[in-house]
Structure 1
Amino acid sequence: MPEKEKLRIDKYLWAIRLFKTRTLAAEACKAGRVKKDGQNLKASYEVKLGDTYNVSKGLERKVVKVTGLLENRVDAKKAVDFYEDLTPVQDTHSFQSMFQAPTLRRDRGAGRPTKRDRREIDDLQEGFFENSRDKEEE
């Protein structure tokens, strides 16, 4: 893959597959979700080798170090060679465990739960939280 000396941050984040489209990467920069040393970056910011960037994408937070400049988007196996993921393990596991825990949600506009619905919700929550506390104590 040919490497360039000058590369925009939005194009780099798209090329290493952190964002599905370059437009989404540019919008993330504009919204302040791409940072270097706590400073928000514009989409036109020039990427340099060895720089570390904090990228927020929804609930996911990543810390990425640039190890190579990539002009075009490539498959995921090759893209990994151009960055180093420095995301702390605690952040990664907390993100994954968030999706394993069931969330109770009612349809919007369904109104308040009836007495019967409330009892069913309470029974479900009671059983779930008791089991999860027992696992934590072990």
Structure 2
Amino acid sequence: MESVRIDKWLWAARFFKTRALAKKAIEGGKVEYNGARVKTSKHVEPGALIKVPQGWEFWEVEVLAVTDQRRGAPEARALYRETPHSQARREREAENRRLANRSVMAPRGRPDKKQRRELQRFQRQRPDE
């Protein structure tokens, strides 16, 4: 297979759970193909550079193989290679998120009766008082 539509390739490479989600991301301008926005009808070719959002992260991958069939994850990973710059950026951002979450104190549970009344009293107060 020489070329396939980008929405099918993103689905087959397991970046998106469904083709509809892949199409929505492409139409929303979140996916870049060789540095430019694309349409869902764009055909993917080996050697192309694609930027793809996935959750909190952005992947920058080089296309190694083209297929329109969705297979297992190990086979899907063989369709692309992540750039070293992208991999370093994702690891750095994950570490930053992890450190930011450490500083946030999680609530201990639901407020008791006294705490609930204090919250209600606080919410009723007007800013000009």
TM-score under structure 2 length normalisation: 0.71
Q: Do residues 60 (structure 1) and 60 (structure 2) align?
A: no
Q: Percent identity?
A: 30
Alignment of 1:7-26 (within 5 A): 7-26=4-23
Equivalent residue in structure 1 for 2:79, among 62, 77, 82: 82
Aligned residues: 108
- Give the Å deviation of 1:51: 0.7
User: Given the superposition, is the C-alpha separation of residues 25 and 11 from structure 1 closer, same or farther in structure 2, using an over 3 Å criterion?
Assistant: same
User: Given the superposition, is the C-alpha separation of residues 42 and 105 from structure 1 closer, same or farther in structure 2, using an over 3 Å criterion?
Assistant: farther
Equivalent residue in structure 1 for 2:91, among 90, 93, 97: 93
Structure (1 or 2) with the larger CA radius of gyration: 2
- Give the Å deviation of 1:104: 3.4
1:55-97: per-residue Cα shift (whole Å, max 9, x none)? Answer: 1234211111111111110101111111111152431212321
Could you list the runs of 5+ residues in structure 1 that have no partner in the other structure?
A: 115-138
Secondary structure in structure 2 of the residue aligned to 1:14: helix
2:104 is aligned to 104
Whether the 8 Å CA contact 1:36–1:53 is kept in 2: the answer is: yes
- Give the Å deviation of 1:105: 7.8
Whether the 8 Å CA contact 1:33–1:57 is kept in 2: the answer is: no
Alignment of 1:35-74 (within 5 A): 35-74=32-71
